[in-house]
């Protein structure tokens, strides 16, 4: 058939697939297929209800078209909300999360099939999403911006496979709250050399080895963070680019750095091959590249060698007293090292189930090498996370464990900045406010690029009655980690609320929710207080309903006993606002 024989039309394309489908199938084929079948029916039902048509559904993919872009986006939102609700009933390793892309474009129709860039772009948008996410093209955004009660985040232009021009992409915020995009164009460069280390690509062909390549990246970041004459972007923000094909120039602008280090890792048996290259993010020129083919036992020395080459390329010198050569001195037990990498990987995901898995790996690492401080510190952090996100069945027991593991890490290595930063909340929860501030400040002195240390300093400052200083500290943390974990926004919201800046606090709390902690009790309580202080009782009432649904036995008396405010007046004003909202004593 000639090209003239095909029908062309402008239509809204809806493309969806399952995040981590291969992993799910590898773990349990029958359960995955059963869930996929049910969820495909959910998608089909919503598509039909929104006047759409399913075009194709091979494997874990589904393609649909709509005459209206408004209907397409509304459908995507309703799908994600229902599937999210259904996932709540599934165990962590069986949750099935869809990614959805929506595009408006010209397509060719051949009977019931659609072809062309309009379809390809929708698929590329979907690939830019995280699980439970929706990404839309700039053309879709122009049509729906003022027609839907939704908020959108501009995540910039992305170069994608087989599409000539970069795509302008927007993310739909399912909470309906506008999100301040961290990806600012032309972020001001620091005065010192600045760098982001992108996730090293796993070249082993085995997805289960992903933790190893991610771990190498993390350890390189942690090592170079100690160099005072270097500005280093934190792991969380560097890993925001994992699996994308964004140009280094754009990464440089969005993160506000001059240089980008990227590479790959291939682990086969007892050998490992690492490639690394340093790129000028302003020009795209390669400044240095090298390959390392070594025994796995030599992995610590390789990480140090990469740091040396990096410093040479940037004309940096060590200042007396700087200690970044930490890997060889920590452990020589490769099994303990690999278990620790897996524990760190799980802990970075900040879900209840993943935090539990992280503890299992870290405990095994400690059993193999009880003199290895890194798993001790991260295990202490896991127990603190359980407390802060209300995941612990016994907060008192979790605190005792956190305190012990962090102290053990410091006993093994008194120069370990992570352990000092974690001692900050430990001191705070013991009512030792000044020591909490000093511990975080000491961690920053050891690691001037320690974004998390700045966040813990902010936490200590706000409970010590110094919220304005806490806000400034959180701003430093976010500059070092522009795409931060959600608890950064929890801390920022807390600081703004104590400072009486309620609108700013609400914006931060909503960002924490968008980041993945929708039911954290501290977020919901903070929002409740803000709504009362802003004269929005109906909003407060809705939030109180969420609190009582997630924590039926909540009481103000219990909560007050857990809050380590130095100044009683800060606690009393907060408690009074919660009473006005109707929370039980």
| Tens digit of each residue's pLDDT, the chain (585 residues) | 344 556 888 899 999 999 888 888 888 888 899 999 999 999 999 999 999 999 988 888 999 999 999 999 999 999 998 898 788 777 777 789 999 999 998 888 877 778 888 888 998 898 888 788 899 998 999 888 778 877 788 777 777 777 777 888 888 887 543 343 444 444 678 888 999 999 999 998 788 888 899 988 988 898 888 888 899 999 989 988 888 778 899 899 889 999 999 999 998 888 889 999 999 998 889 989 989 898 888 887 787 788 788 888 887 754 444 444 444 457 888 899 899 999 998 998 878 899 999 999 999 999 999 999 999 999 999 999 998 877 888 989 999 999 999 999 999 999 899 999 999 999 999 999 999 999 999 999 999 999 999 999 999 999 999 999 999 999 999 999 998 888 899 999 999 999 999 988 998 898 888 776 756 788 999 999 999 999 988 889 989 998 898 888 889 988 888 889 999 999 999 999 999 999 998
State residue 199's pLDDT score: 92
Q: Give the CA distances from residue 511 to residues 85, 335, 491, in Å, rounded to whole numbers and listed in that order.
A: 20, 38, 11
State residue 259's pLDDT score: 93
**Which of 113, 132, 130, 125 shows the shortest CA–CA distance to 167?**
125
State residue 117's pLDDT score: 82
| Angstrom distance (rounded) from CA 437 to CA 449 | 17
State residue 185's pLDDT score: 41
> If you ran DSSP here, which 8-state letter would residue 181 be given?
-
Two tokens, residue 497:
């609320």
Helices (H), 199-314: 210-224, 235-238, 248-255, 299-313
3-class SS of residue 292: strand
Query: Residue 95: phi, psi to the nearest 5?
Result: -60, 135
**Are the CB atoms for 114 and 107 separated by under 8 Å?**
yes
**H or E element: which one contains 59?**
none
State residue 3's pLDDT score: 47
| pTM, two decimal places | 0.68
For the CA atoms of 420, 433, 526, 150, the dihedral, rounded to the nearest 10 degrees, stands at: -30
Query: What region does 450 belong to: left with phi over 0, alpha with psi -120 to 50, or beta?
Result: beta
Two tokens, residue 505:
């606090």
**Which of 481, 558, 565 shows the shortest CA–CA distance to 521?**
558
**Are the CB atoms for 497 and 524 separated by under 8 Å?**
no
**Which of 143, 135, 195 shows the shortest CA–CA distance to 160?**
135
CB crowding 196-231: b at 16 or more within 10 Å, else e: bbbbbbbbbeeeebbbbbbbbbbbbbbbbbbbbebb
| Angstrom distance (rounded) from CA 340 to CA 362 | 6
State residue 152's pLDDT score: 83
For the chain, list the domains and their CATH numbers: 3-173 (3.30.70.1230), 194-330 (3.40.50.10610), 331-414 (1.25.40.10)
State residue 4's pLDDT score: 53
State residue 460's pLDDT score: 96
């Amino acid at each position: 058939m000639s090209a003239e024989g095909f029908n062309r039309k402008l239509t809204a394309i809806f493309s969806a697939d399952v995040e981590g489908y291969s992993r799910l199938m590898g773990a349990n084929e029958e359960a995955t297929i059963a869930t996929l079948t049910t969820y495909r029916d959910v998608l089909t039902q919503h598509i039909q209800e929104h006047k759409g048509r399913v075009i194709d559904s091979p494997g874990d993919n589904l393609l649909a078209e709509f005459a209206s872009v408004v209907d397409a986006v509304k459908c995507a939102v309703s799908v994600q909300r229902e599937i999210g609700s259904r996932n709540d009933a599934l165990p962590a390793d069986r949750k099935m999360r869809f990614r959805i892309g929506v595009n408006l474009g010209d397509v060719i129709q051949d009977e019931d099939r659609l072809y062309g860039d309009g379809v390809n772009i929708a698929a590329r948008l979907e690939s830019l999403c995280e699980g439970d996410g929706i990404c839309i093209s700039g053309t879709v955004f122009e049509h729906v911006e003022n027609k839907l009660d939704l908020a959108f985040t501009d995540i910039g232009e992305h170069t994608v496979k087989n599409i000539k021009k970069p795509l302008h992409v927007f993310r739909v915020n399912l909470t309906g709250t506008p999100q301040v995009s961290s990806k600012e164009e032309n972020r001001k460069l620091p005065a010192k050399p600045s760098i982001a280390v992108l996730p090293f690509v796993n070249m082993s062909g085995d997805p289960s080895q992903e933790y190893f390549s991610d771990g190498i990246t993390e350890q390189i970041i942690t090592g170079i963070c100690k160099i005072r004459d270097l500005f280093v972007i934190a792991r969380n923000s560097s890993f925001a680019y994992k699996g994308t094909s964004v140009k280094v120039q754009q990464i440089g602008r969005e993160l506000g750095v001059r240089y980008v280090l990227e590479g790959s890792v291939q682990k086969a048996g007892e050998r490992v091959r690492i490639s690394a290259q340093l790129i000028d993010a302003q020009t795209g020129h390669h400044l240095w590249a090298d390959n390392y083919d070594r025994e796995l036992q030599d992995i610590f020395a390789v990480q140090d060698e990469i740091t040396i080459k990096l410093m040479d390329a940037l004309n940096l010198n060590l200042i007396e007293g700087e200690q970044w050569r930490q890997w060889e001195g920590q452990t020589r037990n490769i099994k303990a090292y690999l278990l620790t990498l897996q524990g760190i990987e799980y802990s970075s995901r900040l879900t209840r189930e993943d935090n539990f898995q992280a503890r299992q790996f870290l405990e095994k690492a400690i059993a193999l090498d009880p003199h290895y401080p890194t798993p001790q510190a991260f295990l202490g952090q896991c127990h603190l996370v359980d407390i802060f996100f209300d995941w612990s069945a016994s907060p008192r027991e979790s605190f005792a464990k956190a305190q012990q593991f962090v102290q053990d890490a410091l006993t093994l290595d008194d120069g370990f900045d992570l352990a000092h930063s974690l001692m900050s909340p430990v001191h705070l929860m013991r009512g030792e406010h000044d020591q909490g501030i000093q511990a975080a400040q000491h961690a920053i002195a050891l690691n001037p690029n320690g974004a998390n240390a700045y966040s813990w300093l902010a936490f200590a400052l706000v409970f010590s009655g110094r919220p304005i200083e806490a806000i400034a500290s959180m701003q430093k943390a976010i500059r070092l980690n522009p795409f931060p974990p959600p608890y950064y926004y929890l801390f920022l919201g807390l600081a703004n609320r104590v400072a009486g800046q309620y609108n700013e606090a609400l914006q931060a709390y909503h960002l924490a929710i968008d980041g993945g902690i929708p039911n954290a009790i501290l977020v919901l309580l903070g929002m409740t207080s803000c709504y009362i202080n802003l004269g929005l009782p109906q909003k407060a009432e809705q939030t109180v309903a969420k609190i009582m649904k997630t924590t039926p036995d909540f009481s103000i008396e219990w909560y007050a006993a857990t809050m380590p405010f130095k100044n009683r007046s800060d606690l009393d004003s907060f408690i009074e606002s919660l009473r006005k909202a109707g929370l039980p004593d």
